[in-house]
């Protein structure tokens, strides 16, 4: 293994904002870690944690938690958060499959899922982070009105997700087929992650979806004015 990666693995273990066994925080993130009652946003498959760090800078009165299994990637976001004294940030180095062991029902208010692996083989479709299996997991941690934002470069994964959301009777608020060719003025949606930059350089289209798990009223985030929500 590359020396640099090993160094990051050992360094990340000393970071006060990064956890690989976070079960003790379940239901107690506000009390034990953030020490405030502000809403929690998750970034799943966060990689280097661009959403977590950028949103934490922009919204000091909200809390942000990035989740990924790859420590050498998380290291970047966690280090930046420590250097900038962003006390509203945590990172979890865990499989997303175990997230219900870490958050109580309704403990999470919003989820971003930027460029999760598409797991293109049909035999692996349950590993996709927008499969029915994961939608059930999100139902157990996210508030009823909480929004989920999903980005992908993969048209098949995008269509798969739309089909799952219809099957699961989720409320789809925004569908954008080609994000960077649509005059979207929302800074958050337009924020480019590491993979997004790679896909754009390769000439790929970026697809974006915003949905909630029930049909309840949209709260907390305005969808871009240029796009109409679909039923």
- Which neighbouring-strand residues pair with 3? none
Strand (E) or helix (H) holding 64: strand 63-68
Scan residues 91-120 and list those touching ligand SAM (CB under 6 A): 95-97, 114-117
- The angle formed by the CA atoms of residues 56, 212 and 223, to the nearest 5 degrees, is 65
Q: Is 194 in the site for ligand SAM (CB under 6 A)?
A: yes
Query: Which residue is at the shortest CB distance from ligand SAM?
Result: 47
Per CB under 6 A, the list member of 91, 150, 195, 208 interacting with ligand SAM is 195
| Residue ranges in 54-73 that form contacts with ligand SAM under rule CB under 6 A | 68-70, 73
Q: Which is nearer to ligand SAM, 17 or 130 (CB)?
A: 130
Alpha carbons 109 and 98: distance in angstroms, whole number: 18
Cα separation, 41 vs 44, whole angstroms: 10
Considering only residues 196, 210, 211, 212, which one is a binding residue for ligand SAM as defined by CB under 6 A? 196
What spatial distance separates the first Cα and last Cα of the chain, rounded to whole Å? Answer: 49
Q: How many residues in total does the chain contain? A: 231
Neighbours of 85 (CB within 10 A): 7
Residues designated catalytic:
117
Q: Is 191 in the site for ligand SAM (CB under 6 A)?
A: no
Q: Is 176 in the site for ligand SAM (CB under 6 A)?
A: no
Task: State the residues that interact with ligand SAM by CB under 6 A.
Answer: 45-47, 68-70, 73, 95-97, 114-117, 193-196
């Amino acid at each position: 293994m590359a020396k640099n990666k090993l160094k990051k693995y050992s360094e990340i273990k000393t970071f006060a904002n990064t956890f690989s066994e976070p079960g003790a925080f379940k239901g107690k993130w506000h009390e034990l870690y953030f020490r405030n009652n502000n809403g929690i946003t998750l970034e799943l498959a966060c990689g280097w944690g661009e959403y977590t760090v950028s949103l934490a800078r922009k919204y000091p009165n909200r809390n942000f938690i990035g989740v990924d299994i790859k420590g050498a990637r998380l290291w970047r976001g966690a280090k930046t958060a420590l250097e900038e004294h962003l006390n509203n940030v945590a990172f979890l180095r865990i499989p997303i499959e175990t997230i219900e062991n870490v958050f109580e029902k309704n403990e999470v208010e919003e989820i971003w899922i930027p460029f999760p692996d598409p797991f293109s083989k049909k035999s692996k479709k349950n590993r996709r982070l927008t499969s029915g299996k994961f939608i059930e997991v999100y139902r157990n941690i996210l508030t009823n009105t909480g929004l989920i934002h999903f980005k992908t470069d993969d048209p098949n994964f995008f269509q798969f997700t739309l089909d799952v959301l219809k099957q699961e009777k989720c409320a789809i608020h925004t569908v954008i087929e080609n994000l960077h060719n649509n005059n979207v003025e929302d800074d958050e949606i337009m924020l480019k992650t590491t993979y997004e930059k790679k896909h754009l350089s390769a000439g790929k289209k970026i697809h974006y979806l915003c949905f909630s798990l029930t049909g309840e009223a949209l709260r907390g985030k305005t969808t871009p004015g240029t796009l109409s929500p679909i039923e």
